[in-house]
Amino acid sequence: MTPLLDELNRKAAQTKLGGGPKKIDDQHRKGKLTARERIDYLIDNGTSFIEIGLFAGEGLYTEHGGCPSGGVVIGIGYVAGRQCIIVANDATVKAGAWFPITAKKNLRAQEIAMENRLPIIYLVDSAGVYLPLQDEVFADKEHFGRIFRNNAQMSAMGIVQVAAIMGSCVAGGAYLPIMSDEALIVEGTGSIFLAGPYLVKASIGEDVDAETLGGASTHSEISGVTDNKYPDDKSCLDAIRRIFDKMGEPEKAGFNRTKTVLPAQNPEEIYSLLPSDRVKPYDMREIIARLVDNSEFDEYKELYGQTILCGYARIDGWAVGIVANQRKVVKAKGRTGAGGTSGPVEMQMGGVIYSDSADKAARFIMNCNQKKIPLVFLQDVTGFMVGSRSEQGGIIKDGAKMVNAVANSVVPKFTVVVGNSYGAGNYAMCGKAYDPRLIVAWPTAQMAVMSGASAAKTLLQIQVASLKARGETITPEKEQELLQKITNQYNEQLSPYYAAARLWVDAVIDPLDTRTWISMGIEAANHAPITKPFNVGVIQT
């Protein structure tokens, strides 16, 4: 774990530099704080801030100079004691221009705000759409325009939106702050207009400077587009704190919380509990004992369906239902199937989901919905069990039952990818497609349709067959060379950073930060009362 954590810390520190020290200095020379400095100043001292999508855009757009963190900083924090979403354009990255991943990341922030009914703060400093990639940003349903649609819907839902124009705010992007409930602007640096001075000159021949066209005085004194102007970044951020200080209390969902108790088992032991060999068994109960309050885990159906652990616990005082893949070697009873009844057999779990485990998990998820208990999924799954005995025993039917329960669950769900996350196991264990409120990965995580070894061998067979069909001779050396090339390419795609770059996960985190993420996630979810009844529809039994 040590080299993996070193890599995480190194990548995080580099990414947080945004466009680099020179660009940061440029911001300061203009009298502006950087996006991260604005957030640090705004949030309450001594409180946690969990960053969503730190590694978004990593390795993407290299031909355009890259886009660290998607050119925008997003997270959940506390302002004047109120939990909220903060979105801050990073003007050190291409002047805060919108790349495709920037739009996706902003939409993720709004999704979290809408699901949890959290107030949202926009710290605007952006040059608008990055024109060389406009065809990937502008016109589709999940592109730039969806943000303004969400602005309107959040306003109708009663979700507070406050925007501060602290730099450029151009073209279509001008609608974001003005569709918010309150719009503030910084004198001298903030500007907002549908078309800048150059475009105005080209379009209608008018010569006008940026300040006259769309500066703080114009919009606060003449147009009325903004509500108030402030002399600098800090005074503007102070004004936001005063707005939040006077907000009324939100409704609550009513999730159960008691006094926080630290785990009785040392959480740092997680580092040594996870084996470096991905197929080596370990006991997930030992991991759970280092994540939950007082290391207490009340297990559900402990002796049945042992490839999945289910049970009740508390994390930072919050009651949770945990669904976790088990990797331990156990003695399991045989099951009646096409091949007859077998006696007790030793099974190496390997994160495989069997029929009885899927059945157990589905029942447990239903119970948590009945009791209004948030769900936490700990993924280390290679998929569902295959083979004739499993197929004839109804593995597809039982797997569908579990997927159905996850998909229709109305209590908030949180997913932690501990190790493997392969195939349909990813779906059943509440992968990104199943709307977890937050989904994070440990540095040990891997996500793909199948493991690197299995995929590489399959892809090799396809390539070798194709080459032979063209009449080429494949020597053992050539075959090994192909295998290595395929393996390297596939393993790169397995990386948690590959997933984080594309926002398949919200973050790659140190395992010791897991409790904070889940606790703040449930606190956020507690702002949104559950109004939809739990109903799983039709299930094959």
Architecture of domain 1-245: Alpha-Beta Complex (3.90)
Q: What pLDDT is recorded for position 333?
A: 55
Beta-bridge mates of residue 292: none
- 499 by Cβ neighbours in 10 Å (0-12 / 13-18 / 19+) ranks as buried
Reduce the DSSP state of residue 466 to 3 states and report it: helix
Task: Grade residue 350 by pLDDT with cuts at 50, 70 and 90.
Answer: low
- Mean per-residue pLDDT, 274-291: 90
User: Which of 432, 445, 430, 422 is CA-nearest to residue 510?
Assistant: 445
Q: How many CB atoms lie within 10 A of CB 375?
A: 24
Encoded tokens for 416: 């932690």
The residue ranges of every structural domain in the chain are: 1-245, 267-445+505-527, 450-494
Q: How many CB atoms lie within 10 A of CB 159?
A: 23
Residues for the chain: how many in total? 541
Most confident among 208-212, 342-346, 410-414, 450-454 (mean pLDDT): 410-414
CA 408 – CA 48 distance, rounded (Å): 31
Residues 6 or more apart whose Cβ sits within 8 Å of residue 317: 257, 258, 259, 260, 261, 293, 519
Q: What is the CATH number of domain 267-445+505-527?
A: 3.90.226.10
| Per-position DSSP letters for 100-128, written without gaps between them | HHHHHHHHHHHHHHHHHT--EEEEEEE--
The lowest-confidence range among 5-19, 305-319, 335-349 is 335-349
Percent of the chain scoring above 70 in pLDDT = 94
Flag whether pLDDT at 337 surpasses 60.
Answer: no
Q: How far is CA 460 from the centre of its chain?
A: 33
- Mean per-residue pLDDT, 379-408: 82
Helices 233-245 & 35-42 angle (0-180, nearest 10): 40
**267-445+505-527 matches 1-245 in CATH topology:** yes
Question: 195-214 as b/e, with b when 16 or more CB fall inside 10 Å?
Answer: bbbeebeeeeeeeeeeeebb
Backbone angles phi, psi at 85, to 5 degrees: -95, 135
